[in-house]
A and B are shown apart, each in its own frame.
Chain A
Amino acid sequence: MAEGVSRWFGTLVAVSDVSFDIGPGVTALLGPNGAGKSTMLRMLCGLARPSRGTIRVLGRDPRSDVGVTRSIGLVPQQGSVFEPLTAREFVRLTAALHALRDPDAAATAALETVGLDPSDTRRLPAYSKGMRQRVKVAQGIVHDPVVLLLDEPLTGLDPRQRADMIALFRRLGAEGRCVLVSSHVLDEVERLGSRILVMSQGRLAAAGDFRELRALMDDRPLRVRVRTDRPRELAGALLEAGTVVSARLDGDEGLELDTNDAKGLARALAPVARDRDASLLEVVPLDADLEGVFRYLVQR
Protein backbone atom coordinates (compact mmCIF):
# COMPACT_ATOMS: atom_id res chain seq x y z
CA MET A 1 0.00 0.00 0.00
CA ALA A 2 1.33 3.41 -0.97
CA GLU A 3 -0.35 6.53 0.36
CA GLY A 4 0.63 9.99 -0.83
CA VAL A 5 4.13 8.83 -1.61
CA SER A 6 6.61 11.29 -3.05
CA ARG A 7 10.30 11.04 -3.54
CA TRP A 8 12.62 13.76 -4.70
CA PHE A 9 16.36 13.98 -5.24
CA GLY A 10 17.36 17.61 -4.75
CA THR A 11 15.15 19.51 -7.17
CA LEU A 12 14.26 16.43 -9.21
CA VAL A 13 10.88 14.96 -8.32
CA ALA A 14 11.05 11.25 -9.15
CA VAL A 15 7.71 10.25 -7.65
CA SER A 16 4.92 12.68 -6.85
CA ASP A 17 1.99 11.99 -4.53
CA VAL A 18 1.31 8.42 -5.60
CA SER A 19 -1.31 6.32 -3.83
CA PHE A 20 -2.45 2.79 -4.60
CA ASP A 21 -3.30 -0.56 -3.06
CA ILE A 22 -2.15 -3.84 -4.49
CA GLY A 23 -3.61 -7.19 -3.61
CA PRO A 24 -3.03 -10.79 -4.64
CA GLY A 25 -2.53 -11.42 -8.34
CA VAL A 26 -0.43 -9.79 -11.01
CA THR A 27 -0.27 -6.01 -11.22
CA ALA A 28 1.71 -4.27 -13.91
CA LEU A 29 3.49 -0.99 -13.30
CA LEU A 30 3.59 0.55 -16.74
CA GLY A 31 5.40 3.69 -17.76
CA PRO A 32 8.06 5.06 -20.07
CA ASN A 33 11.67 5.14 -19.02
CA GLY A 34 12.19 7.78 -16.35
CA ALA A 35 8.56 7.65 -15.21
CA GLY A 36 9.54 6.76 -11.64
CA LYS A 37 8.74 3.04 -11.74
CA SER A 38 12.07 1.85 -10.39
CA THR A 39 12.08 4.47 -7.63
CA MET A 40 8.54 3.37 -6.70
CA LEU A 41 9.61 -0.29 -6.59
CA ARG A 42 12.67 0.57 -4.51
CA MET A 43 10.48 2.39 -2.02
CA LEU A 44 7.97 -0.46 -1.95
CA CYS A 45 10.62 -2.89 -0.80
CA GLY A 46 12.34 -0.44 1.53
CA LEU A 47 15.50 0.15 -0.46
CA ALA A 48 14.71 3.86 -0.59
CA ARG A 49 12.90 6.06 1.88
CA PRO A 50 9.94 8.13 0.65
CA SER A 51 10.48 11.87 1.03
CA ARG A 52 6.80 12.07 1.95
CA GLY A 53 3.98 9.59 2.40
CA THR A 54 3.59 6.10 3.76
CA ILE A 55 4.39 2.67 2.41
CA ARG A 56 3.25 -0.54 4.01
CA VAL A 57 3.88 -4.11 2.89
CA LEU A 58 1.74 -6.68 4.67
CA GLY A 59 0.96 -3.89 7.12
CA ARG A 60 4.61 -3.25 7.99
CA ASP A 61 7.16 -0.62 7.07
CA PRO A 62 9.63 -2.29 4.70
CA ARG A 63 12.23 0.39 5.37
CA SER A 64 12.59 -0.14 9.08
CA ASP A 65 11.23 -3.64 9.62
CA VAL A 66 13.94 -6.06 8.55
CA GLY A 67 11.62 -8.98 9.27
CA VAL A 68 9.22 -8.10 6.47
CA THR A 69 11.98 -8.63 3.92
CA ARG A 70 11.42 -12.35 4.48
CA SER A 71 8.13 -11.95 2.65
CA ILE A 72 9.47 -9.85 -0.23
CA GLY A 73 11.24 -11.01 -3.35
CA LEU A 74 12.85 -8.45 -5.62
CA VAL A 75 14.18 -8.82 -9.13
CA PRO A 76 16.06 -5.55 -9.67
CA GLN A 77 16.48 -3.89 -13.01
CA GLN A 78 20.26 -3.73 -13.05
CA GLY A 79 22.03 -6.49 -14.93
CA SER A 80 24.91 -6.78 -12.49
CA VAL A 81 25.36 -10.02 -10.57
CA PHE A 82 28.09 -11.43 -8.32
CA GLU A 83 30.65 -12.36 -10.94
CA PRO A 84 32.71 -14.91 -8.99
CA LEU A 85 29.59 -17.02 -8.35
CA THR A 86 27.79 -19.66 -10.34
CA ALA A 87 24.02 -19.38 -10.75
CA ARG A 88 23.51 -22.05 -8.12
CA GLU A 89 25.84 -20.33 -5.65
CA PHE A 90 24.10 -17.01 -6.20
CA VAL A 91 20.61 -18.40 -5.64
CA ARG A 92 21.83 -20.55 -2.77
CA LEU A 93 23.29 -17.45 -1.10
CA THR A 94 19.86 -15.84 -1.16
CA ALA A 95 18.31 -19.02 0.23
CA ALA A 96 20.91 -19.16 3.00
CA LEU A 97 20.40 -15.51 3.96
CA HIS A 98 16.68 -16.25 4.18
CA ALA A 99 17.52 -19.15 6.50
CA LEU A 100 15.73 -21.74 4.39
CA ARG A 101 15.91 -25.20 5.87
CA ASP A 102 17.61 -26.67 2.80
CA PRO A 103 19.20 -23.88 0.74
CA ASP A 104 20.60 -26.31 -1.83
CA ALA A 105 17.23 -27.87 -2.57
CA ALA A 106 15.56 -24.45 -2.69
CA ALA A 107 18.19 -23.12 -5.11
CA THR A 108 17.80 -26.17 -7.33
CA ALA A 109 14.01 -25.81 -7.40
CA ALA A 110 14.17 -22.07 -8.15
CA LEU A 111 16.63 -22.52 -10.99
CA GLU A 112 14.56 -25.33 -12.49
CA THR A 113 11.47 -23.13 -12.18
CA VAL A 114 13.05 -20.52 -14.45
CA GLY A 115 14.33 -23.16 -16.84
CA LEU A 116 18.00 -23.13 -15.91
CA ASP A 117 20.29 -26.07 -15.22
CA PRO A 118 21.23 -26.09 -11.51
CA SER A 119 24.30 -28.20 -12.23
CA ASP A 120 25.80 -25.63 -14.61
CA THR A 121 29.26 -24.86 -13.22
CA ARG A 122 29.90 -21.78 -15.33
CA ARG A 123 30.25 -18.49 -13.53
CA LEU A 124 27.59 -15.87 -14.12
CA PRO A 125 29.59 -13.65 -16.51
CA ALA A 126 29.57 -16.60 -18.94
CA TYR A 127 25.76 -16.51 -19.05
CA SER A 128 23.82 -14.65 -21.72
CA LYS A 129 21.83 -11.60 -20.70
CA GLY A 130 18.61 -13.60 -20.83
CA MET A 131 20.07 -16.36 -18.64
CA ARG A 132 21.31 -13.85 -16.09
CA GLN A 133 17.85 -12.30 -16.09
CA ARG A 134 16.37 -15.70 -15.25
CA VAL A 135 18.95 -16.22 -12.50
CA LYS A 136 17.81 -12.92 -11.01
CA VAL A 137 14.22 -14.13 -11.11
CA ALA A 138 15.30 -17.40 -9.45
CA GLN A 139 16.95 -15.50 -6.57
CA GLY A 140 13.77 -13.43 -6.27
CA ILE A 141 11.49 -16.44 -5.84
CA VAL A 142 13.78 -18.90 -4.06
CA HIS A 143 12.34 -18.11 -0.62
CA ASP A 144 8.75 -18.37 -1.85
CA PRO A 145 7.84 -14.74 -1.08
CA VAL A 146 4.29 -13.51 -0.62
CA VAL A 147 5.17 -10.26 -2.37
CA LEU A 148 7.23 -10.37 -5.55
CA LEU A 149 8.48 -7.14 -7.13
CA LEU A 150 10.02 -7.38 -10.58
CA ASP A 151 11.66 -4.41 -12.28
CA GLU A 152 11.65 -4.90 -16.06
CA PRO A 153 12.12 -8.68 -15.68
CA LEU A 154 11.54 -9.52 -19.33
CA THR A 155 14.43 -7.44 -20.64
CA GLY A 156 16.89 -9.53 -22.60
CA LEU A 157 14.67 -12.59 -22.90
CA ASP A 158 13.84 -14.17 -26.23
CA PRO A 159 10.14 -14.59 -27.17
CA ARG A 160 9.92 -18.15 -25.85
CA GLN A 161 11.55 -17.21 -22.56
CA ARG A 162 9.23 -14.21 -22.27
CA ALA A 163 6.21 -16.42 -22.74
CA ASP A 164 7.49 -18.85 -20.09
CA MET A 165 8.27 -16.06 -17.67
CA ILE A 166 4.90 -14.38 -18.17
CA ALA A 167 3.22 -17.75 -17.56
CA LEU A 168 5.26 -18.09 -14.36
CA PHE A 169 4.24 -14.64 -13.12
CA ARG A 170 0.60 -15.38 -13.86
CA ARG A 171 0.81 -18.67 -12.01
CA LEU A 172 2.50 -17.07 -9.00
CA GLY A 173 -0.24 -14.45 -9.00
CA ALA A 174 -2.95 -17.09 -9.33
CA GLU A 175 -1.48 -18.84 -6.29
CA GLY A 176 -2.33 -15.78 -4.22
CA ARG A 177 0.96 -13.94 -4.24
CA CYS A 178 1.12 -10.24 -4.86
CA VAL A 179 3.19 -9.90 -8.03
CA LEU A 180 4.10 -6.41 -9.24
CA VAL A 181 5.84 -6.29 -12.62
CA SER A 182 7.20 -3.05 -14.00
CA SER A 183 7.54 -2.61 -17.73
CA HIS A 184 7.72 0.09 -20.35
CA VAL A 185 6.44 -2.25 -23.05
CA LEU A 186 2.70 -2.11 -23.57
CA ASP A 187 2.58 -5.47 -25.31
CA GLU A 188 4.19 -7.24 -22.35
CA VAL A 189 1.67 -5.74 -19.98
CA GLU A 190 -1.19 -6.80 -22.22
CA ARG A 191 0.03 -10.39 -22.09
CA LEU A 192 0.24 -10.30 -18.32
CA GLY A 193 -3.52 -9.76 -18.42
CA SER A 194 -3.37 -7.90 -15.21
CA ARG A 195 -4.41 -4.83 -13.35
CA ILE A 196 -2.33 -1.92 -14.50
CA LEU A 197 -0.86 1.12 -12.80
CA VAL A 198 0.36 3.69 -15.29
CA MET A 199 3.10 6.03 -14.14
CA SER A 200 4.29 9.02 -16.03
CA GLN A 201 6.60 11.80 -14.94
CA GLY A 202 6.52 10.49 -11.40
CA ARG A 203 2.74 10.53 -11.13
CA LEU A 204 0.15 7.80 -11.19
CA ALA A 205 -1.52 8.63 -14.48
CA ALA A 206 -4.12 5.88 -14.57
CA ALA A 207 -5.09 2.61 -12.94
CA GLY A 208 -7.39 -0.16 -14.06
CA ASP A 209 -7.48 -3.36 -16.00
CA PHE A 210 -6.05 -3.53 -19.48
CA ARG A 211 -9.36 -3.16 -21.32
CA GLU A 212 -10.24 0.01 -19.46
CA LEU A 213 -6.86 1.46 -20.19
CA ARG A 214 -6.88 0.41 -23.83
CA ALA A 215 -10.25 2.09 -24.33
CA LEU A 216 -8.88 5.21 -22.72
CA MET A 217 -5.97 5.20 -25.13
CA ASP A 218 -8.18 4.53 -28.16
CA ASP A 219 -10.30 7.56 -27.28
CA ARG A 220 -7.46 9.99 -27.42
CA PRO A 221 -7.01 12.24 -30.50
CA LEU A 222 -4.30 11.09 -32.85
CA ARG A 223 -1.88 13.70 -34.07
CA VAL A 224 -0.52 13.41 -37.62
CA ARG A 225 2.14 15.51 -39.28
CA VAL A 226 1.71 16.08 -42.99
CA ARG A 227 4.15 17.73 -45.36
CA THR A 228 2.52 19.08 -48.49
CA ASP A 229 2.99 21.89 -51.01
CA ARG A 230 -0.54 23.22 -50.27
CA PRO A 231 -0.96 23.03 -46.48
CA ARG A 232 -3.61 25.76 -46.17
CA GLU A 233 -5.90 24.27 -48.80
CA LEU A 234 -5.52 20.76 -47.40
CA ALA A 235 -6.17 21.88 -43.82
CA GLY A 236 -9.27 23.81 -44.86
CA ALA A 237 -10.71 20.88 -46.79
CA LEU A 238 -10.12 18.36 -43.98
CA LEU A 239 -11.64 20.68 -41.35
CA GLU A 240 -14.62 21.34 -43.62
CA ALA A 241 -15.15 17.61 -44.07
CA GLY A 242 -14.95 17.05 -40.31
CA THR A 243 -12.14 14.52 -40.73
CA VAL A 244 -9.89 16.42 -38.33
CA VAL A 245 -10.75 18.36 -35.20
CA SER A 246 -7.92 20.85 -35.49
CA ALA A 247 -5.10 21.78 -37.83
CA ARG A 248 -1.94 23.81 -37.30
CA LEU A 249 0.35 25.18 -39.98
CA ASP A 250 4.03 24.53 -39.40
CA GLY A 251 6.22 26.49 -41.81
CA ASP A 252 5.62 26.60 -45.56
CA GLU A 253 4.94 22.91 -46.04
CA GLY A 254 4.18 21.56 -42.57
CA LEU A 255 0.76 20.73 -41.16
CA GLU A 256 -0.18 19.10 -37.86
CA LEU A 257 -3.61 17.51 -37.73
CA ASP A 258 -5.55 16.18 -34.72
CA THR A 259 -8.20 13.60 -35.45
CA ASN A 260 -10.53 11.38 -33.45
CA ASP A 261 -10.94 9.09 -36.44
CA ALA A 262 -7.56 7.84 -37.54
CA LYS A 263 -8.97 5.41 -40.07
CA GLY A 264 -11.26 8.06 -41.55
CA LEU A 265 -8.32 10.41 -41.96
CA ALA A 266 -6.29 7.69 -43.63
CA ARG A 267 -9.13 7.09 -46.12
CA ALA A 268 -9.82 10.76 -46.78
CA LEU A 269 -6.34 12.26 -46.93
CA ALA A 270 -5.27 11.09 -50.40
CA PRO A 271 -8.61 11.90 -52.18
CA VAL A 272 -8.79 15.34 -50.55
CA ALA A 273 -5.19 16.09 -51.54
CA ARG A 274 -5.92 14.96 -55.11
CA ASP A 275 -9.04 17.17 -55.28
CA ARG A 276 -7.02 20.19 -54.10
CA ASP A 277 -4.13 19.35 -56.44
CA ALA A 278 -1.83 19.03 -53.42
CA SER A 279 1.16 16.72 -53.30
CA LEU A 280 1.58 14.68 -50.10
CA LEU A 281 5.30 14.71 -49.40
CA GLU A 282 5.18 13.04 -45.98
CA VAL A 283 2.56 11.64 -43.56
CA VAL A 284 3.81 10.77 -40.06
CA PRO A 285 1.60 9.79 -37.12
CA LEU A 286 2.80 11.50 -33.95
CA ASP A 287 2.03 10.41 -30.38
CA ALA A 288 1.60 6.85 -31.57
CA ASP A 289 4.37 5.61 -29.32
CA LEU A 290 4.00 4.75 -25.67
CA GLU A 291 5.49 8.05 -24.58
CA GLY A 292 2.68 9.77 -26.40
CA VAL A 293 0.07 7.61 -24.74
CA PHE A 294 1.45 8.44 -21.34
CA ARG A 295 1.63 12.10 -22.21
CA TYR A 296 -2.01 11.97 -23.11
CA LEU A 297 -2.95 10.16 -19.92
CA VAL A 298 -1.16 12.74 -17.83
CA GLN A 299 -2.51 15.75 -19.69
CA ARG A 300 -6.12 14.62 -19.98
Chain B
Amino acid sequence: MDTLPAASAERPRTAASLGALYRLLLRTQVTVPRLLGIVALGALSVLLGVFARWDDDPVQAAAEAVTSYGLGFVVPLAALWLGTAAIGDLVEDRLLVYLWLKPVPRWQLPAAAVLATITVVAPLTALPLAASALAAGAGELAVAVLLAASLAVCAYAGLFVAAGLWLRRAAWWGLAFVLLWENAAAYASEGTARFTLTSWARSIVATAPWVDVPLGGRSVVAALFVLPAVAVAGGLAATVRYRRADVD
Protein backbone atom coordinates (compact mmCIF):
# COMPACT_ATOMS: atom_id res chain seq x y z
CA MET B 1 0.00 0.00 0.00
CA ASP B 2 1.39 3.35 -0.99
CA THR B 3 1.18 6.60 0.85
CA LEU B 4 -1.50 8.92 -0.44
CA PRO B 5 -0.34 11.90 -2.42
CA ALA B 6 -1.01 15.23 -0.82
CA ALA B 7 -4.31 16.45 -2.20
CA SER B 8 -5.20 20.03 -2.80
CA ALA B 9 -8.66 20.95 -1.61
CA GLU B 10 -10.63 24.13 -1.75
CA ARG B 11 -14.30 24.97 -1.37
CA PRO B 12 -16.12 23.21 -4.21
CA ARG B 13 -17.52 25.47 -6.89
CA THR B 14 -21.31 25.48 -6.74
CA ALA B 15 -21.76 24.16 -10.26
CA ALA B 16 -19.31 21.32 -9.74
CA SER B 17 -20.69 20.06 -6.44
CA LEU B 18 -24.32 20.62 -7.44
CA GLY B 19 -23.63 18.80 -10.69
CA ALA B 20 -22.00 15.88 -8.89
CA LEU B 21 -24.94 15.54 -6.50
CA TYR B 22 -27.45 15.91 -9.33
CA ARG B 23 -25.82 13.17 -11.40
CA LEU B 24 -25.60 10.89 -8.38
CA LEU B 25 -29.28 11.36 -7.52
CA LEU B 26 -30.32 10.77 -11.12
CA ARG B 27 -28.48 7.46 -11.07
CA THR B 28 -29.85 6.36 -7.72
CA GLN B 29 -33.42 7.53 -8.43
CA VAL B 30 -33.89 6.19 -11.91
CA THR B 31 -34.61 2.49 -11.79
CA VAL B 32 -36.27 0.40 -14.47
CA PRO B 33 -39.46 -0.27 -12.41
CA ARG B 34 -39.87 3.43 -11.69
CA LEU B 35 -39.34 4.39 -15.31
CA LEU B 36 -41.74 1.73 -16.56
CA GLY B 37 -44.36 2.79 -14.02
CA ILE B 38 -44.22 6.45 -15.00
CA VAL B 39 -44.13 5.65 -18.72
CA ALA B 40 -47.20 3.44 -18.27
CA LEU B 41 -49.05 6.29 -16.52
CA GLY B 42 -48.14 8.61 -19.39
CA ALA B 43 -49.07 6.09 -22.07
CA LEU B 44 -52.49 5.69 -20.51
CA SER B 45 -53.06 9.44 -20.79
CA VAL B 46 -52.23 9.29 -24.51
CA LEU B 47 -54.77 6.48 -24.86
CA LEU B 48 -57.39 8.62 -23.15
CA GLY B 49 -56.63 11.36 -25.67
CA VAL B 50 -57.21 8.92 -28.53
CA PHE B 51 -60.58 7.94 -27.05
CA ALA B 52 -61.50 11.62 -26.56
CA ARG B 53 -61.22 12.12 -30.34
CA TRP B 54 -64.54 10.28 -30.77
CA ASP B 55 -66.36 12.39 -28.21
CA ASP B 56 -68.98 14.89 -29.34
CA ASP B 57 -66.76 17.68 -28.04
CA PRO B 58 -63.22 16.29 -28.33
CA VAL B 59 -61.52 19.46 -27.10
CA GLN B 60 -63.58 19.54 -23.91
CA ALA B 61 -63.17 15.78 -23.45
CA ALA B 62 -59.42 16.09 -23.89
CA ALA B 63 -59.27 18.98 -21.42
CA GLU B 64 -61.14 16.93 -18.83
CA ALA B 65 -58.97 13.86 -19.39
CA VAL B 66 -55.76 15.84 -19.22
CA THR B 67 -56.73 17.75 -16.09
CA SER B 68 -58.62 15.09 -14.13
CA TYR B 69 -56.37 12.14 -14.95
CA GLY B 70 -53.17 13.86 -16.01
CA LEU B 71 -52.86 16.75 -13.58
CA GLY B 72 -54.91 14.96 -10.92
CA PHE B 73 -53.01 11.70 -10.86
CA VAL B 74 -50.19 11.20 -13.38
CA VAL B 75 -48.14 14.26 -12.47
CA PRO B 76 -48.46 14.09 -8.67
CA LEU B 77 -48.03 10.33 -8.48
CA ALA B 78 -44.93 10.33 -10.68
CA ALA B 79 -43.44 13.22 -8.72
CA LEU B 80 -44.34 11.46 -5.50
CA TRP B 81 -42.65 8.25 -6.58
CA LEU B 82 -39.35 9.88 -7.43
CA GLY B 83 -39.45 12.93 -5.18
CA THR B 84 -39.88 11.10 -1.89
CA ALA B 85 -37.23 8.58 -2.94
CA ALA B 86 -34.65 11.17 -3.98
CA ILE B 87 -33.30 11.77 -0.49
CA GLY B 88 -35.68 9.47 1.38
CA ASP B 89 -33.95 6.41 -0.08
CA LEU B 90 -30.57 7.77 1.02
CA VAL B 91 -31.92 8.17 4.54
CA GLU B 92 -33.42 4.68 4.60
CA ASP B 93 -30.31 3.08 3.12
CA ARG B 94 -28.10 5.08 5.51
CA LEU B 95 -26.17 6.61 2.62
CA LEU B 96 -26.70 10.23 3.58
CA VAL B 97 -23.57 10.07 5.72
CA TYR B 98 -21.43 10.02 2.56
CA LEU B 99 -22.91 13.32 1.38
CA TRP B 100 -23.47 15.19 4.63
CA LEU B 101 -19.84 15.14 5.70
CA LYS B 102 -18.62 17.17 2.76
CA PRO B 103 -17.69 20.86 2.49
CA VAL B 104 -20.74 21.54 0.37
CA PRO B 105 -23.47 24.07 1.30
CA ARG B 106 -26.45 22.24 2.77
CA TRP B 107 -28.95 23.64 0.25
CA GLN B 108 -27.28 21.82 -2.61
CA LEU B 109 -28.48 18.29 -1.90
CA PRO B 110 -32.20 19.23 -1.68
CA ALA B 111 -31.78 21.42 -4.76
CA ALA B 112 -30.13 18.57 -6.65
CA ALA B 113 -32.93 16.24 -5.56
CA VAL B 114 -35.63 18.62 -6.80
CA LEU B 115 -33.80 19.16 -10.09
CA ALA B 116 -33.24 15.44 -10.62
CA THR B 117 -36.89 14.71 -9.93
CA ILE B 118 -38.01 17.39 -12.38
CA THR B 119 -35.54 16.14 -14.99
CA VAL B 120 -37.05 12.68 -14.98
CA VAL B 121 -40.71 13.37 -14.25
CA ALA B 122 -41.35 16.44 -16.40
CA PRO B 123 -40.61 14.90 -19.81
CA LEU B 124 -42.22 11.58 -18.87
CA THR B 125 -45.49 13.22 -17.82
CA ALA B 126 -45.81 16.62 -19.51
CA LEU B 127 -44.99 15.33 -22.99
CA PRO B 128 -47.51 12.45 -22.89
CA LEU B 129 -50.18 14.82 -21.58
CA ALA B 130 -49.50 17.24 -24.42
CA ALA B 131 -49.51 14.27 -26.79
CA SER B 132 -52.87 13.28 -25.33
CA ALA B 133 -54.30 16.66 -26.29
CA LEU B 134 -52.83 16.32 -29.77
CA ALA B 135 -54.20 12.79 -30.10
CA ALA B 136 -57.65 14.12 -29.26
CA GLY B 137 -57.35 16.69 -32.00
CA ALA B 138 -57.16 19.50 -29.43
CA GLY B 139 -53.86 20.98 -30.48
CA GLU B 140 -54.82 24.33 -28.98
CA LEU B 141 -54.57 22.72 -25.54
CA ALA B 142 -51.10 21.27 -26.00
CA VAL B 143 -48.96 24.27 -25.06
CA ALA B 144 -51.05 25.11 -22.00
CA VAL B 145 -50.98 21.47 -20.89
CA LEU B 146 -47.24 21.30 -21.39
CA LEU B 147 -46.70 24.41 -19.29
CA ALA B 148 -49.20 23.42 -16.60
CA ALA B 149 -47.80 19.92 -16.23
CA SER B 150 -44.20 21.14 -16.16
CA LEU B 151 -44.89 23.72 -13.47
CA ALA B 152 -46.97 21.21 -11.50
CA VAL B 153 -44.06 18.77 -11.63
CA CYS B 154 -41.80 21.46 -10.18
CA ALA B 155 -44.20 22.16 -7.32
CA TYR B 156 -44.83 18.52 -6.49
CA ALA B 157 -41.11 17.74 -6.76
CA GLY B 158 -40.27 20.39 -4.16
CA LEU B 159 -43.08 19.24 -1.90
CA PHE B 160 -42.26 15.55 -2.07
CA VAL B 161 -38.49 15.94 -1.77
CA ALA B 162 -39.17 17.84 1.46
CA ALA B 163 -41.61 15.14 2.57
CA GLY B 164 -38.93 12.52 1.97
CA LEU B 165 -36.73 14.26 4.54
CA TRP B 166 -39.36 15.30 7.05
CA LEU B 167 -41.59 12.24 7.19
CA ARG B 168 -41.18 8.56 7.74
CA ARG B 169 -43.19 6.57 5.18
CA ALA B 170 -43.32 9.73 3.10
CA ALA B 171 -44.62 7.86 0.05
CA TRP B 172 -47.74 6.76 1.95
CA TRP B 173 -48.35 10.21 3.37
CA GLY B 174 -47.84 11.60 -0.11
CA LEU B 175 -50.29 9.12 -1.59
CA ALA B 176 -52.88 10.13 0.99
CA PHE B 177 -52.19 13.78 0.15
CA VAL B 178 -52.70 13.19 -3.58
CA LEU B 179 -55.85 11.15 -3.20
CA LEU B 180 -57.55 12.88 -0.29
CA TRP B 181 -56.42 16.49 -0.66
CA GLU B 182 -55.56 17.04 -4.28
CA ASN B 183 -58.42 14.90 -5.64
CA ALA B 184 -61.15 14.83 -2.99
CA ALA B 185 -60.86 17.91 -0.82
CA ALA B 186 -60.19 19.99 -3.94
CA TYR B 187 -63.76 19.41 -5.04
CA ALA B 188 -65.24 19.97 -1.58
CA SER B 189 -65.30 23.75 -1.67
CA GLU B 190 -63.78 26.76 -3.31
CA GLY B 191 -61.86 27.40 -0.09
CA THR B 192 -60.07 24.05 -0.08
CA ALA B 193 -59.51 24.13 -3.83
CA ARG B 194 -57.52 27.32 -3.42
CA PHE B 195 -54.95 25.39 -1.40
CA THR B 196 -54.49 22.54 -3.85
CA LEU B 197 -51.68 22.52 -6.38
CA THR B 198 -53.84 20.81 -8.95
CA SER B 199 -56.27 23.75 -9.07
CA TRP B 200 -53.43 26.15 -9.86
CA ALA B 201 -52.11 23.87 -12.59
CA ARG B 202 -55.59 23.42 -14.04
CA SER B 203 -56.02 27.18 -14.18
CA ILE B 204 -53.20 27.33 -16.72
CA VAL B 205 -54.99 24.78 -18.92
CA ALA B 206 -58.17 26.83 -18.54
CA THR B 207 -56.54 29.63 -20.53
CA ALA B 208 -57.07 27.57 -23.67
CA PRO B 209 -60.12 28.74 -25.68
CA TRP B 210 -63.47 26.96 -25.59
CA VAL B 211 -62.77 24.68 -22.68
CA ASP B 212 -64.30 24.53 -19.23
CA VAL B 213 -61.75 23.08 -16.83
CA PRO B 214 -62.98 21.82 -13.45
CA LEU B 215 -61.17 23.62 -10.61
CA GLY B 216 -59.60 25.93 -13.17
CA GLY B 217 -60.89 29.22 -11.80
CA ARG B 218 -57.63 30.63 -10.42
CA SER B 219 -55.70 33.51 -11.91
CA VAL B 220 -53.25 32.20 -14.46
CA VAL B 221 -50.73 34.90 -13.59
CA ALA B 222 -50.88 33.85 -9.96
CA ALA B 223 -50.56 30.22 -11.01
CA LEU B 224 -47.34 31.00 -12.86
CA PHE B 225 -46.01 32.37 -9.59
CA VAL B 226 -47.54 29.95 -7.07
CA LEU B 227 -46.32 26.68 -8.59
CA PRO B 228 -42.62 27.65 -8.82
CA ALA B 229 -42.90 29.25 -5.38
CA VAL B 230 -44.09 25.94 -3.92
CA ALA B 231 -41.10 24.23 -5.55
CA VAL B 232 -38.73 26.71 -3.94
CA ALA B 233 -40.52 26.50 -0.59
CA GLY B 234 -40.24 22.70 -0.70
CA GLY B 235 -36.54 22.96 -1.41
CA LEU B 236 -36.09 25.37 1.50
CA ALA B 237 -38.09 23.15 3.85
CA ALA B 238 -35.91 20.21 2.83
CA THR B 239 -32.78 22.28 3.43
CA VAL B 240 -33.94 23.27 6.91
CA ARG B 241 -34.54 19.63 7.76
CA TYR B 242 -31.26 18.52 6.22
CA ARG B 243 -29.32 21.09 8.23
CA ARG B 244 -30.93 20.11 11.52
CA ALA B 245 -31.32 16.36 11.18
CA ASP B 246 -29.08 13.83 12.81
CA VAL B 247 -27.53 11.70 10.11
CA ASP B 248 -27.38 7.98 10.67
| Chain A residues close to B by CB (< 8 Å) | 42, 45-49, 66-67, 69-70, 72, 74, 76, 78, 80-85, 93-101, 105-106, 109-110, 112-115, 139, 141-144, 164, 167-168, 171, 175
Q: Which of B5-13, B52-60, B182-190, B224-232 lines the interface with chain A?
A: B5-13
Query: In the complex the two chains form, is B100's CB within 8 Å of A70's CB?
Result: no
Q: Does B99 contact A (CB under 8 A)?
A: yes
Say yes or no: A97-B246 contact (C-beta < 8 A), given A74-B97, A85-B27.
no
CB B244 to nearest CB in A, in angstroms, measures 8
Q: List, sorted by A's number, 16 A–B pairs whose CB atoms are closer than 8 Å.
A: A45-B101, A46-B101, A47-B247, A80-B94, A94-B102, A96-B17, A97-B21, A97-B104, A98-B9, A98-B12, A99-B17, A99-B103, A106-B5, A141-B4, A144-B4, A167-B1
Q: Cβ of A45: which chain B residues have Cβ within 8 Å of it?
A: 101
- Give Cα A82 to B17, complex, Å: 17
Q: Does B47 contact A (CB under 8 A)?
A: no
| Chain B residues close to A by CB (< 8 Å) | 1-13, 16-17, 20-21, 24, 27-28, 93-95, 97-106, 246-248
Q: Cβ of A85: which chain B residues have Cβ within 8 Å of it?
A: 24, 27
Query: In the complex the two chains form, is A81's CB within 8 Å of B12's CB?
Result: no
Query: In the complex the two chains form, is A48's CB within 8 Å of B247's CB?
Result: yes
Q: Cβ of A70: which chain B residues have Cβ within 8 Å of it?
A: 9, 103
CB B179 to nearest CB in A, in angstroms, measures 31
Task: Using CB atoms, name the residue of chain A closest to B21.
Answer: A97
Q: Is chain B's binding surface mostly helix, strand, loop or mixed?
A: loop
Query: In the complex the two chains form, is B4's CB within 8 Å of A97's CB?
Result: no
Query: In the complex the two chains form, is A69's CB within 8 Å of B102's CB?
Result: yes
- Other than the given A106-B7, A143-B7, A164-B1, 8 more pairs (CB < 8 A) read A47-B97, A48-B246, A74-B97, A74-B101, A78-B97, A80-B94, A97-B99, A142-B4
Query: In the complex the two chains form, is A109's CB within 8 Å of B104's CB?
Result: no
Q: Cβ of A115: which chain B residues have Cβ within 8 Å of it?
A: 1
Specify which of A42, A141, A175 lies most central, judged by the most chain B CB atoms within 10 Å of its CB: A42
- Give Cα A165 to B143, complex, Å: 60
Query: In the complex the two chains form, is B3's CB within 8 Å of A175's CB?
Result: yes
CB B245 to nearest CB in A, in angstroms, measures 9
Say yes or no: A100-B246 contact (C-beta < 8 A), given A47-B101, A84-B28, A168-B1.
no
Q: Cβ of A144: which chain B residues have Cβ within 8 Å of it?
A: 4-7, 9
Task: Using CB atoms, name the residue of chain B closest to A62.
Answer: B101
Q: Cβ of B6: which chain A residues have Cβ within 8 Å of it?
A: 144
Query: In the complex the two chains form, is B4's CB within 8 Å of A110's CB?
Result: yes
Say yes or no: A96-B100 contact (C-beta < 8 A), given A66-B106, A84-B27, A113-B1.
no
Specify which of A85, A96, A106, A175 lies most central, judged by the most chain B CB atoms within 10 Å of its CB: A96
Query: In the complex the two chains form, is B2's CB within 8 Å of A113's CB?
Result: yes
Task: Using CB atoms, name the residue of chain A closest to B19.
Answer: A96
| Candidates B10, B99, B246; contact of A49 at CB < 8 Å | B246
Q: Cβ of A46: which chain B residues have Cβ within 8 Å of it?
A: 101
CB B69 to nearest CB in A, in angstroms, measures 32
